[in-house]
Amino acid sequence: MTPRHASPPITPVPERGPWPVRLLGLSLVLAVSACADFSGILPAARTLVPESLGLRAVPLPARKKLVAARVTPTRSESGFDELWWQSFNDPQLDALVTQALQASPNLRAAQARIVRAEAVSEGLGANEKVQAVGAFDASQQRFSAVGMYPPPLAGGNVQLANAQINLSYEWDLFGRNRAALDASIGATQAAIADAQQARLLLSTQVTRTYLAMLRLQAQRALQQSYLAQREQANAIARARKDAGMDSELEFRSTPLNASMPEIRQQIEALGEQVALARNSLAALVGKTSLDMAWTDDALQALTAAPQQDSLPMDLLGRRPDIVAARWRVEAATADMAYAKALFYPNINLTAFVGLNSVGWSNIANAGSEQWGLGPALRLPLFDTGRLRANLLGKSAELDAAVESYNALVLEAVRDVNEQLTSLRYIAAQEREQKLAQANAQALLEIAQQRYASGLSTRAGVLNAQSALVPHQRQAIELHARALDIQAQLMRALGGGYLQESAPPDTAN
């Protein structure tokens, strides 16, 4: 018998799963397709091409693991090295610079900053490894009588024990952890270069202060010699007065007596400057006073390095401040890469294994083991605005780092050119000064011969001596300035900062 109202046949519908699962899958697809929306955010600055300035690109030094350890310097093919002050061949200067480098609080602070930066890099490097945390808990707990636990646990006092190891590992599919580590390494290497720059500036300051002190001491010695000549001439004039050959008025009104107080005043002024320079030098080496003694001709014993026809300007690439600026560009570039990686999913694998029991004595039972394993996915669904703002800020920081580097390179080129120009002109001045001094010396010898022969008075000798002193003073100034500019040129070229005695360890 056929039913009066037969139901239509039912067509099977493909199983699509529960609607929350479908919604989650759709959300993941949309999130992945939209999470990398950082279009339009690009750095605008470009680093200077070394060849455009007549320079040769110098690679950055390899990353070193033990950066706090002092690298033994070696002399480079250009003649400049980290111990550049030894080119003056002055053991006392070597001792002063060594003491200053050992006693400087600023250098010790720089080393502390390096250690701190290294610690940050070590911490970020650990993110690339499996993280493991062990835990053990033992407690006594009363469960609610009307809660989720059934009798006999409900309403009872229960002892709980848990011993567990939690493991986690983050798959760095989009380079987030690597970018963070690269940024930290760049900051660490910049801190190393900053410490080298502080070392270079301190050694330069000690050297220049030392040279200035020797210059003042030589000028004072010259004035003392000039005063001794004047006093000898004054004794002759006094003998003439005492013999009745000259009157008291003639004796006191001669230019000889009038100039001697002025010479003594200049000697005292130079003595004050010498004392102040010694105090400054003592402070630089971490002492209250110096127990060293210098001869009056110590400045003349120093010789400037022979002037080279040309210096390779690519030596600028070894300057610690330029190296630091380049590492900061590298760090800012890695920071921007990290900011981009934040737009992508973060995938972790977590696991745990351990023992869990109700009752402390049951923790060792065979059935107390537990374990778990599973992935974890995190997506920036509604955080694009904040992430784009962060990326825009990192892009601006990269632009600033690049422009700072460019400005520093241009300033370094100007600095070196200025020192080279000054050296050339000082060399020309010294040549002319030596000719003028030789002429004044010849005139003095002629005046002395005429006086010894009775053909002229003592006044002619005194005038010739007075004419020679300015040339001698100028010779001291030019020689001291040539030495000072040599020190500044070595500082401008960065010494031998990139020269190392052995290949460094690299951090991969």
Q: What is the pLDDT of residues 471-489, one digit of tens each?
A: 999 999 999 999 999 999 8
Q: Following CA atoms 359, 361, 363, 368 in sequence, which dihedral angle do they give, to the nearest 10 degrees?
A: -70
pLDDT band at residue 86 using 50, 70 and 90 as cut-offs: confident
Task: Say if 34 falls within a structural domain.
Answer: no
Residues 230-256 pLDDT 10s: 777 777 667 766 666 666 655 555 555
Query: What residues contact 222, with CB distance under 8 A and at least 6 apart?
Result: 469, 472, 473, 476
Cα four-point dihedral sign 98, 103, 106, 108: positive
Residue (of 140, 161, 47, 141) closest to 409 by Cα position? 47
pLDDT > 70 fraction of the chain, expressed in percent and rounded:
75
How many CA atoms within 13 Å lie on the side-chain side of 191? 24
Sheet of 346-358, strands arranged across: 131-142, 157-171, 346-358, 369-378
Identify the pLDDT of residue 122: 79
Say yes or no to pLDDT of 42 above 80. no
Whether cis (ω within 30° of 0) applies to the bond prior to 12 is no
Residue 118: which domain range? 44-130+174-346+399-493
Q: Which of 9-18, 114-123, 291-300 has the lowest mean pLDDT?
A: 9-18
How many CA atoms within 13 Å lie on the side-chain side of 272? 5
Report residue 280: phi and psi, to 5°.
-65, -40
How deeply is 273 buried, as exposed, middle or buried, from its count of CB atoms within 10 A (0-12, 13-18, 19+)? middle
Tokens of 371: 């374990």
Average pLDDT, stretch 442-467? 82
Task: Say if 374 falls within a structural domain.
Answer: no
Task: Say if 169 falls within a structural domain.
Answer: no
Which of 8-22, 109-123, 219-233, 263-277 is the most confident on average?
A: 263-277
CATH of the domain at 426: 1.20.1600.10
How deeply is 441 buried, as exposed, middle or buried, from its count of CB atoms within 10 A (0-12, 13-18, 19+)? middle
Residues 359-399 pLDDT 10s: 777 777 777 888 888 787 777 766 777 888 888 898 899 99
Identify the pLDDT of residue 341: 84
Task: Say if 210 falls within a structural domain.
Answer: yes
Say yes or no to pLDDT of 45 above 80. no
The phi-psi region of residue 460 (left if phi > 0; otherwise alpha if psi is between -120 and 50; otherwise beta) is: alpha
Please state at what angle helix 320-341 crosses helix 176-242, rounded to 10 degrees. 160
d(CA 481, CA 478): 5
Q: What is the total count of domains within the chain?
A: 1
- On average, the pLDDT of the chain sits at 77
Cα 264–Cα 269–Cα 274 angle in degrees, nearest 5: 120
List, as own/partner pairs, every contact residues 38-41 make where C-beta atoms lie below 8 angstroms and the sequence separation is at least 24, other chains included.
Answer: 38/340, 38/343, 38/387, 38/388, 38/391, 41/388, 41/391, 41/392, 41/395
Task: Say if 317 falls within a structural domain.
Answer: yes
Identify the pLDDT of residue 507: 39
Q: Which helix (H) or strand (E) holds 250?
A: helix 248-252
Task: Say if 394 falls within a structural domain.
Answer: no
Single-letter amino acid code for the residue at 174:
F
Task: Say if 313 falls within a structural domain.
Answer: yes
What would you measure as the largest C-alpha separation in the chain, in angstroms? 173
Identify the pLDDT of residue 346: 78
Say yes or no to pLDDT of 13 above 90. no
How deeply is 239 buried, as exposed, middle or buried, from its count of CB atoms within 10 A (0-12, 13-18, 19+)? exposed
Q: Which of 104-113, 205-214, 307-316, 331-340 has the lowest mean pLDDT?
A: 307-316
d(CA 18, CA 407): 62
Identify the pLDDT of residue 78: 42
Say yes or no to pLDDT of 58 above 80. no
pLDDT band at residue 154 using 50, 70 and 90 as cut-offs: confident
Identify the pLDDT of residue 68: 36
pLDDT > 90 fraction of the chain, expressed in percent and rounded:
22
Identify the pLDDT of residue 217: 94
31 versus 174: which is more confidently predicted?
174
Average pLDDT, stretch 277-289? 90
Residue (of 203, 206, 197) closest to 408 by Cα position? 197
Task: Say if 243 falls within a structural domain.
Answer: yes
